[in-house]
Structure 1
């Protein structure tokens, strides 16, 4: 008889963690779709992963991918791309860290921010690139 209340308590505690994990997995899938699209030079598919606020700044896919090519080269072309820690930052927002080595072997950290749209899809609202300490290039 005692096992039932303990089981309910354990399941109750596991629920929010599972939801957090699901949000991070979904956010990672969005980032992966965009990065794979960059690798194919598929501007429309990469652009589709961007949040409406980003699409307002860059009103078409060609402008968007052009900006990424010049301002986010380590994301656009890289040797490695490995997900790190992710954290929920609100009811419908996530920050996801990614370790990147660019095409020249320079290490970076990309911090992606994402939000869940009204349609339930995760969209990228920004990406902050941080060069690893002690690297030149």
Structure 2
């Protein structure tokens, strides 16, 4: 019985460790952040959408409403996707920079590829540093 209990405790501790390490995976973390920003755009939540922008983006668009209007105009498929799925991801310099490929079907029926560049901030958090969008659905890699 003691052996069973010891094995059970070790297994539980290992699973907790794996779950914690997985939760802190920068690819998973930044993917969830992109999804949260897309949901904020879909819900017209200006504050939430703007909160994911990196300081460099906020320096260019210090007014959150101007930022939101720019995204609606220039990145409409990202702002209001019909459907989207994550493609490839790449972590550079031990997670200092993360790139995500997001394949988007626009509401207008056109398909797009958005490449998100996400930068780790000095406090360890991640912010969206830019998005490059091209009309295309084939993964070309990052």
TM-score greater than 0.5 by the shorter chain? yes
Say how many residue pairs are matched. 116
| TM superposition shift of 1:48 | 0.3
Runs of 5+ in structure 2 lacking a partner? 1-20, 138-142
Flag as ranges the 4+ runs of structure 1 deviating above 4 A: none
Instruction: Kindly report which structure 2 residues correspond to 1:27-66, keeping only aligned pairs within 5 A, or say none.
Output: 27-66=30-69
- Secondary structure in 1 aligned to 2:39? helix
Runs of 5+ in structure 1 lacking a partner? 1-17
RMSD of equivalent CA atoms: 1.8
CA distance in 2, matches of 1:122, 1:38: 18
Equivalent residue in structure 2 for 1:131, among 105, 119, 135: 135
Instruction: Kindly report which structure 2 residues correspond to 1:27-106, keeping only aligned pairs within 5 A, or say none.
Output: 27-91=30-94, 92-106=96-110
| TM superposition shift of 1:105 | 1.0
